[in-house]
């Protein structure tokens, strides 16, 4: 079965147009893989394949009996898939991982790695519309087969919905004012590019402009890709499938994600009714997030907001 899968993957790669030059420098590479791989013969998931930096490092540490599944919802990553019998590529949102594991008859996992959000490629590839400096249309879809784009959010969501998105996902305190003005102005205009929306939003900026713009665009991106819903499903399903002693390793890039991960890892499974003792899902977890070294932050500015948490299944 596995060699057929390999052939299929090989053909998929050959048939894909490979039109992308996918570039991304992996963050916390050694720290994450050290934490993840405990059994070199195990079954592992890298649910955010991206440029494949983490997957390639995992494969180096696995033996011939091991398997690694790589998930990504963006077809562009096909440009980087390894030709390795132990690697199986799945183009899907990681929220469906349980369904795929059932399909492949995998009952237990040794480790799951997620390096959340978008990659450098998404910002650098102009047509994708993630950057506030981009001339591209307001798109922001990681999965290009989905229909909802950032411009649809701006043009169709209610004032209350827009306020919630900018406040909760962007942590912008003037969210309500921005939402009110969008609803008013969109009667007469449609923002035809990221940069035109960024120009329009200049009036609302406070503090450091670029940081503020990044938060504004982040809020739209989280909504378009339903990032927090997918993360919650990932945490639940990955945890269920982990073996005792299996590792969950999550790298996140904003406080909303990190909070979700932190709260999940310290969650109680049950409370002993007689003694009042708490049973936890994980036997250990990172109380403090692990962050990139100063040297890494210096070399890779995109690593600066990274926070990694590791948990071991009880
Ligand atoms: C930060 S990058 C990962 C980089 C990768 N670790 C590397 O070393 O190159 C995140 C990747 O995860 C993908 N991604 C984000 N959310 C996803 C989801 N819910 N399901 C599947 N893929 C997702 C993005 O398309 C992107 O390619």
**128 CB within 6 A, ligand 1:** no
Q: Could you give the percent of the chain with pLDDT greater than 70?
A: 93
**pLDDT of 126 strictly over 80:** no
53 Cβ closer than 6 Å to some ligand 1 atom? yes
- Per-residue pLDDT at 204: 98
Q: Which atom of ligand 1 is nearest to the CA of 231?
A: 19
More confident residue, 22 or 291: 291
Banded pLDDT at 7 (limits 50, 70, 90): very low
For 207-226, what is the mean pLDDT?
97
Q: Domains, the chain, ranges and CATH?
A: 2-120+228-313 (3.40.50.150), 144-224 (1.10.150.170)
The pLDDT of 147-163, averaged and rounded, is: 98
DSSP letters for 289-314? -B---HHHHHH-GGGTT-EEEEEEE-
pLDDT score of 10:
45
Ligand 1 pocket residue status of 54, Cβ below 6 Å: yes
Distance 47 CA to ligand 1 centre (A): 7
How remote is the CA of residue 185 from the centroid of ligand 1, in Å?
A: 34
Q: Express each pLDDT in 231-288 by its tens digit.
A: 999 999 999 999 999 999 999 999 999 999 999 999 988 777 777 778 889 999 999 9
Alpha helices in the chain (DSSP H): 2-15, 29-36, 53-60, 97-103, 120-124, 150-156, 159-164, 175-185, 194-201, 209-224, 227-241, 255-265, 294-299
β-pair partners for 282 = 313
pLDDT at 11 > cutoff 60: no
72 close to ligand 1 (CB < 6 Angstrom): yes
Which residue minimizes the CA distance to atom 16 of ligand 1? 117
Q: What is the pLDDT of residue 5?
A: 54
> What pLDDT sits at residue 19?
56
Report yes or no: 81 and 5 within 8 Å, Cβ to Cβ: no
Q: Give the Å distance between the CA of 114 and the centre of ligand 1.
A: 8
> Does ligand 1 come within 6 angstroms of the Cβ of 252?
no
* Per-residue confidence (pLDDT) for residue 20, from 0 to 100: 63
Question: What is the tens place of the pLDDT at every residue in 137-148?
Answer: 999 999 999 999
Note the pLDDT of residue 313.
Answer: 97
Residue closest by Cα to atom 8 of ligand 1: 53
Q: Mean pLDDT across the chain, nearest whole number?
A: 92
* SS3 (DSSP) at 203: helix
Average pLDDT over residues 299-313: 96
What are the tens digits of pLDDT across the range 38-60? 999 999 999 999 999 999 999 99
Centre of ligand 1 to C-alpha 273, Å, is 41
Residue located nearest, by CA, to atom 1 of ligand 1: 119
């Amino acid at each position: 079965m596995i060699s057929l899968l390999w052939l299929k993957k090989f053909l998929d790669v050959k048939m894909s147009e490979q039109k992308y030059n996918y570039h991304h420098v992996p963050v916390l590479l050694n720290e994450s893989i050290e934490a993840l791989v405990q059994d070199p013969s195990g079954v592992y998931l890298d649910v955010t394949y991206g440029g494949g930096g983490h997957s390639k490092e995992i494969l180096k540490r696995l033996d011939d009996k091991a398997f690694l599944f790589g998930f990504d919802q963006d077809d562009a990553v096909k440009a980087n898939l390894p030709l390795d019998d132990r690697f199986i590529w799945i183009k899907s949102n990681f929220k469906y991982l349980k369904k795929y594991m059932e399909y492949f008859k995998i009952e237990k996992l040794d480790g799951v790695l997620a390096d959340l959000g978008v990659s450098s490629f998404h910002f650098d590839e102009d047509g994708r519309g993630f950057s506030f400096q981009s001339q591209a249309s307001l798109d922001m879809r990681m999965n290009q087969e989905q229909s909802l784009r950032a411009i649809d959010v701006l043009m169709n969501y209610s004032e209350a919905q827009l306020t919630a998105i900018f406040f909760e996902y962007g942590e912008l305190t003037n969210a309500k004012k921005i939402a009110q003005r969008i609803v008013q102005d969109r009667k007469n205009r449609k923002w035809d590019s990221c940069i035109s929306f960024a120009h329009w939003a200049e009036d609302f900026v406070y503090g450091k402009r670029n940081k503020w713009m990044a938060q504004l665009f982040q809020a739209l991106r989280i909504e378009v890709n339903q990032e927090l819903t997918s993360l919650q499903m990932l945490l639940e399903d990955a945890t269920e499938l982990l073996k005792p002693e299996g590792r969950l390793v999550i790298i996140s890039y904003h406080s909303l994600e990190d909070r979700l991960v932190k709260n999940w890892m310290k969650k109680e499974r049950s409370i002993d009714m007689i003694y009042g003792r708490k049973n936890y899902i994980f036997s250990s977890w990172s109380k403090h997030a692990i962050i990139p070294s100063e040297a890494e932050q210096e070399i890779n500015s995109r690593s600066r907001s990274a926070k990694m948490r590791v948990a071991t299944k009880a």
